[in-house]
Amino acid sequence: MALSLLIILLVIGISAAAPELTRLRDYDWFRRWVGSLNSRLELNVLWTHGLGLLITVGMPSLLVLLVYRGLGGAIFGLIGLLLSAMVLYYTWGPQDLDADVTDLATATDPELRQRALSALGASTAADEPADRVELVFHQALKRWFGVLFWFALFGPAAAVAFRLIQLLADSDSLSKQLPELQAQAARRMYEALAWIPAQLMTWALALAGDFNAVSKAWREHQASHGQGLMHLDLGFLTATAVACIEYHDVDEVPDALPREQIAEQALQLVWRVLVVWLTVLAVIVLAQLFG
């Protein structure tokens, strides 16, 4: 766990200090891989089933696992450390969240604003403040926290698996290359893999923000579904994040926080949540060392 924390801090530092290196996070190979599988296995029963994800995502993840297990112990574990750092950096993102939020906040015309919204995953114009909070927090879950959680728990192969599942679930161009059952399975799998990190983000947000507001919003969202915790809807993340940000309609309240700054304030909260996560990991490491 100590090495995992060291790698995580290293990757976060590099990502923040050298955002131009995001170009190294290229997933064109995965698009070609999915297209090749679809053309070769189009009529295969396993491929047309949801279990086809074992091929689409399982094989690249297995390859990473085998390389890590085979070479990780070389040179007193240094190769394993480097491989883990490279994989985590590659799966982090892929785009720079800070840069995308800054582009949205500083967009001076509708075209630039729409381009910035698209970079944050918005399919339509997200002009409402709550929409922008939702974009930032869900992108943080996809780009940072989901990868971080599965990497810390199971290592680099798990980080790769999460990223590839997320790409399949989010990318229309990728999902169109998959059989419908497999595309549906990818979306459900992403929700399942993101559920625990999203819950942990929520409770870290309670510590980093307004505990009463977060816990109230979380309980109200769960009650509204009538299923308690037994559902994979991730809307609670948006509900709790919005509860921590005070905003009003700028047309009604002259001194309200400008709409352009809503995303920036949400990003500040995301960074505070990340600090809470890293603090908890550090406490776990210290407990292991001195326990």
pLDDT, tens only, 167-224: 999 998 898 899 999 999 999 999 999 999 999 999 999 998 889 999 999 988 888 8
| pLDDT tops 60 at residue 134 | yes
Of 281 and 116, the one with more pLDDT:
281
Write down the pLDDT at residue 111. 84
Question: Which among 157, 152, 7, 1 is positioned nearest to 78, based on CA atoms?
Answer: 7
Cα 220 to Cα 172: distance, rounded to the nearest angstrom: 32
pLDDT, tens only, 72-82: 888 888 999 99
Q: For residue 196, give both structure tokens.
A: 């625990």
Cα 49 to Cα 186: distance, rounded to the nearest angstrom: 11
User: What's the chain's Rg over C-alpha atoms?
Assistant: 20
- Exposed / middle / buried, residue 55 (Cβ in 10 Å: 0-12, 13-18, 19+): middle
Write down the pLDDT at residue 253. 46
| pLDDT tops 70 at residue 247 | no
Cα 211 to Cα 207: distance, rounded to the nearest angstrom: 6
Of 145 and 3, the one with more pLDDT:
145
pLDDT, tens only, 269-279: 999 999 999 99
3-state secondary structure 110-153: HHHHHHHHHHCCCCCCCCCHHHHHHHHHHHHHHHHHHHHHHHHH
Cα 192 to Cα 137: distance, rounded to the nearest angstrom: 17
The DSSP code for 258 is: P
| pLDDT tops 70 at residue 255 | no
Q: Please enumerate in sequence order all residues whose Cβ is within 8 A of that of 262, keeping only pairs 6 or more positions apart, or say none.
A: 129, 132, 133, 245, 247
Distances (CA, A) of 261 to 93, 108, 184, 245, 266: 22, 13, 35, 11, 9
Write down the pLDDT at residue 254. 46
Q: For residue 273, give both structure tokens.
A: 């949540």
Write down the pLDDT at residue 209. 85
Cα 81 to Cα 54: distance, rounded to the nearest angstrom: 27
Cα 7 to Cα 94: distance, rounded to the nearest angstrom: 17
- Report the sign of the C-alpha dihedral through residues 145, 150, 151, 153, in that order: positive
| pLDDT tops 50 at residue 122 | yes
pTM above 0.75, yes or no: yes
Cα 193 to Cα 195: distance, rounded to the nearest angstrom: 6
Q: Residue range 125-133: average pLDDT?
A: 75
Max Cα distance, the chain (Å): 64
Cα 43 to Cα 280: distance, rounded to the nearest angstrom: 48
Write down the pLDDT at residue 41. 86
CB-CB contact of 261 with 105 (8 Å): yes
CB-CB contact of 285 with 8 (8 Å): no
Q: For residue 213, give both structure tokens.
A: 């507001």
